[in-house]
Structure 1
Amino acid sequence: MARYDQEDREDDILGNMIVLGVSLVVIAAVVIGVVAGIDNSTIAGVGTWNNNTTLDAICAQTDYKESCISSLKPIGNKSEVIVYFKAAVNATVSEMALAMEKLKVEGGTLSDEGELMALQDCMELLDLCTKELESVNMLVNSTPKLFYNDSVDARSSLSAVITYQRTCREGFKEFESTYNMDGVLQRSSELSSNALAIIYEHSENDDKEAESLVPPRRSTNELQGGLYDGYPAQMILAGDRKLLQYHSFRKLDGQAPNAVVAQDGSGQYTTIFAAIHSYPNGHKGRYLIYVKYGVYYENVIIAKNMTDIFMYGDGLNKTIIAGHFMDGTAYRRATLCEFLSH
């Protein structure tokens, strides 16, 4: 039986990274086409998801067995793996809601400025957790084959839930707070860990060589862990590769940048912040932001509703974002932060 420790879970986060390389590129749409295949022996079915198992057997795969048994006990001592997994996700959703309610109530007793900042971070992070869990539920409620083929996405979302909770707890520890955030999130953290362990155990034989359920494969250099102009090939869509190949960036197939940032005033905006906030509500399609040569001392935040931003610069060591806040939580000090949308 495969074991999956905390570091492995956190390493399983695929697609929540922004890469700055030869050109400054931010793909805020995050339409990351992660493809998970299926083991040759299970192509005709859905792997082990429909197999019957016992409560003890399913919980033996987890790190927090007592929490697992108590949360899945209503299902009974014997059921299908997929039924137990759905229940594990739903139990995490319920526990996350309880944690958020507790924070809302107890947060009113906090007065320290640092603790209040950490509290605000936690409310945002737990909201992100809820959205990640919703995305897992959408996958698990789809057809069995589709869910199995998308198991990497579900694992990624559950890994994100674990990481968001850890970030929340670390925010309070930064300010040496006596507030027991570990206690607030203990059960939700355990349940999300258990859900991830279950899905990992039953999808670890994903085989990318199984072709019947996946799109046609591109070249090895392009798709199998290689780089494209310094970027992970899996993150670069065909249209985006055309943008990376285009040297002028001023106009591509009739599409000029929607916003141009230039410190010398030659663009529409002098700050990246202003350009990002020019993104129209309800915008459809790619929104191009061209950031000209310069060093921009900004902390750039891309909101969840800005779902299709493509930001690029003049190249390595030419367009640089170097902002950094010395105050606040680590969550707030990131130079570039993107809140993902599902």
Structure 2
Amino acid sequence: MDFTSKTIFFTLTLTLTLASFLFVGNADEDIHVVNHNLQSDLTGLCQRTTNPTLCLETIRPHLLKGSITPIKALDAEVEATHEQTKRTMDFIGTSLAKSSTSKSLKDSLAICREQYQGILDTIKETKEAIANNDFTTAKLKFSAVLSYQGSCKDAFEGMEKEFFFSHDSDNLFQLGGNCLDIIADIEKAEGPKTEVVPTVSTPSTVSTFSNVIGTVS
């Protein structure tokens, strides 16, 4: 290879190397910007919820799985509520099975077990509504979660010291509130739905004599 060929080869290699560094640098910068924007969007979304800190803690891990939309954020928060409910039901079941548990405590726990089963059923129905983009139904369904949680809490009135899963109950309430807040955000973004009023066709007036053949005197 002569001097000219070597020079051309070296120049070409250097150019390609610099171009590759620039491409990688720009790609890293783009990824950083995208991640920053996702984090910023999530922070803004969670700031409008009942418990912003809990919202960020439960939804942020899903940033690693791609972009976060309000609907995906809602899915994540509903699932977090579902998991919290199952954990609490495990605590309740374990305590009910203990022979040392007093009758009064068992009575309260039995009420809570029924209420928390209602929460699981409601979450299932809510997920179906979300899958159908029916957020009005999702809001109505999910509102029952807070009612069920409140009924369980009321069962421990005067027995606060025995309400050993009160922290989990409060977490469930906060998660439920977050879900309802995100649903409200989605509904607001969608705008008011135009109600389609069905048109009712008015039958034309038929003359009394329309079916009479011949002249009428």
**Common fold: TM-score over 0.5:** yes
Q: 2:176 aligns with which of 180, 188, 192?
A: 192
What secondary structure is seen at the aligned counterpart in 2 of 1:186? helix
Counterpart for residue 91 of structure 1: 80
What secondary structure is seen at the aligned counterpart in 2 of 1:76? helix
Q: Which amino acid aligns with 2:51?
A: Y
Tell me, in whole angstroms, the C-alpha distance in 1 between the residues paired with 2:114 and 2:191: 33
Q: 2:57 aligns with which of 70, 81, 96?
A: 70
Determine if the alignment matches structure 1 residue 133 to structure 2 residue 150.
no
Determine if the alignment matches structure 1 residue 153 to structure 2 residue 137.
yes
Q: Which amino acid aligns with 1:141?
A: A
Q: 2:156 aligns with which of 159, 166, 172?
A: 172
TM-superposed deviation, 1:127? 0.5
Counterpart for residue 123 of structure 1: 113
Determine if the alignment matches structure 1 residue 207 to structure 2 residue 197.
no
| Long gaps (5+) in structure 1 | 1-51, 219-342
TM-superposed deviation, 1:188? 1.9
Q: Which amino acid aligns with 2:198?
A: P
Determine if the alignment matches structure 1 residue 108 to structure 2 residue 97.
yes
TM-superposed deviation, 1:183? 1.8
Pairwise mapping of residues 208-287 of structure 1 onto structure 2 (< 5 A)? 210-212=194-196, 216=198
Pairwise mapping of residues 282-297 of structure 1 onto structure 2 (< 5 A)? none
Counterpart for residue 45 of structure 2: 58
What secondary structure is seen at the aligned counterpart in 1 of 2:162? coil
Counterpart for residue 241 of structure 1: none
Q: Deviations over 1:299-319 (max 9, x none)?
A: xxxxxxxxxxxxxxxxxxxxx
- Identity rate of aligned residues, in percent? 20
TM-superposed deviation, 1:73? 1.0
Q: Deviations over 1:152-178 (max 9, x none)?
A: 221111110011001101101145552
Tell me, in whole angstroms, the C-alpha distance in 2 between the residues paired with 1:198 and 1:118: 32
Does the 8 Å CA contact 1:165/1:185 hold for their aligned counterparts?
Answer: yes
Q: Deviations over 1:212-267 (max 9, x none)?
A: 5xx7399xxxxxxxxxxxxxxxxxxxxxxxxxxxxxxxxxxxxxxxxxxxxxxxxx
Q: 1:163 aligns with which of 142, 147, 164?
A: 147
Change (3 A) 1:176 1:83: closer
Q: 1:81 aligns with which of 70, 78, 89?
A: 70
Q: Which one has a larger percent helix, Structure 1 or Structure 2?
A: 2
Tell me, in whole angstroms, the C-alpha distance in 2 between the residues paired with 1:173 and 1:184: 17
Which TM-score applies when normalising by structure 2? 0.65
What secondary structure is seen at the aligned counterpart in 2 of 1:187? helix
Counterpart for residue 23 of structure 2: none
| Long gaps (5+) in structure 2 | 1-37, 201-217
Change (3 A) 1:184 1:217: farther
Q: Which amino acid aligns with 2:97?
A: G
Q: Which amino acid aligns with 1:89?
A: V
RMSD between aligned residues: 2.5
Tell me, in whole angstroms, the C-alpha distance in 2 between the residues paired with 1:184 and 1:129: 14
Q: Deviations over 1:80-116 (max 9, x none)?
A: 1111111111111111111111211133346332221
TM-superposed deviation, 1:186? 2.2
Count of aligned pairs between the two proteins: 158
Which TM-score applies when normalising by structure 1? 0.42
Change (3 A) 1:119 1:216: farther
TM-superposed deviation, 1:198? 0.7
